[in-house]
Amino acid sequence: MQIATNTTARDAALFNAQKVIDLNPLSYRGYQLKHEVLYGARRYDEATAAFEIMLSKLENAPNMHVRKLRQRYLSPSEAERIIGMEIRVRLDNAPLRVLDTTTGLLCDREAQIRTFKTSSEYNELLLFTMKHPDIRMKYIEEVAGMYFGCVMLSHRWEGKEPLLHEIQDKVVYDLDAVGGIVKLQVSLGVERYKTNNAELQQSLNSTFVWYRHSALTIVYLSDVPPQSKAGALAKSAWNTRGWTIGECLAPKLILFYRQD
């Protein structure tokens, strides 16, 4: 009943907005009303189109004071450029590839951006940025930081660990739970994969930065059994790795997981 009531109210609001447009096609007000209704209904593409028409009406308004209202807003392309710059800043401090915990797929940076641009978070951010340019940067940073935040996985290589070509374009959750695949399936983070030399070198040079900017670092101690006694962490082979010091110092938050 509530859904039907909301739909009826939106339809009525759209009808009223269209009436305003029909009464004065040269005015921006009807399109502004239409945009707000469509935005509230999460019909983002239509809301953006209505907003663009509103901007054109402001730009071509015969009244100078009305034309000045255009300065309060950004066009979609302007908003996209600003958001894109912040995304690049975020990704510059993130691993070259991450495991999407929703899909189970390994994603490079371009894939992350494409996925973000199809999300409701991006559409809401785009429209918010267009309408509130004075306070946009803080909100863009918050949304981008939340969406592109990653969890790092720190562990000791042992036995057979998955390489890039073994999981590329595959859903990790569907792979056989053996060897290092198990770690990927139960963790929420990012693995380091051996790939081409240039990418490997960039990974080596950037590891500290990635851990520093991660939302969380998970340390998996495969040789610390359940119900282990105090001091088991200090005896773990994880402490013998060359990476350990940096992976302990860089993160802002670390969680240690035992064998189970």
Tens-binned pLDDT, residue by residue, of the chain (260 aa): 444 456 788 889 999 999 999 999 999 999 999 999 999 999 999 999 999 999 999 999 999 999 999 999 999 999 999 999 999 988 888 888 887 777 777 788 898 999 999 998 999 999 999 988 777 788 888 898 888 888 777 766 666 666 666 667 666 655 665 556 655 555 533 333 434 555 555 655 677 788 888 888 888 787 888 777 777 777 787 777 666 677 777 888 888 888 76
What the block records as the tokens of 172 is 């990790």
Residue 79: per-residue pLDDT: 92
Sign of CA dihedral 49, 130, 110, 173: negative
What are the DSSP E strand ranges found in the chain?
97-99, 106-108, 151-154, 216-220, 254-257
Q: How many residues does the chain have?
A: 260
Q: What is the pTM of this model?
A: 0.67
* DSSP 8-state assignment for residue 41: T
82 close to 88: Cβ distance less than 8 angstroms? no
What are the DSSP E strand ranges found in 72-194?
97-99, 106-108, 151-154
The Cα–Cα gap between 47 and 65 comes to 25
pLDDT tens column, 20-52? 999 999 999 999 999 999 999 999 999 999 999
What the block records as the tokens of 140 is 């863009």
Residue with tokens 């809401």: 124
Which class for 29: exposed (0-12), middle (13-18), buried (19 or more C-beta within 10 A)?
Answer: middle
Amino acid identity, position 166 = E
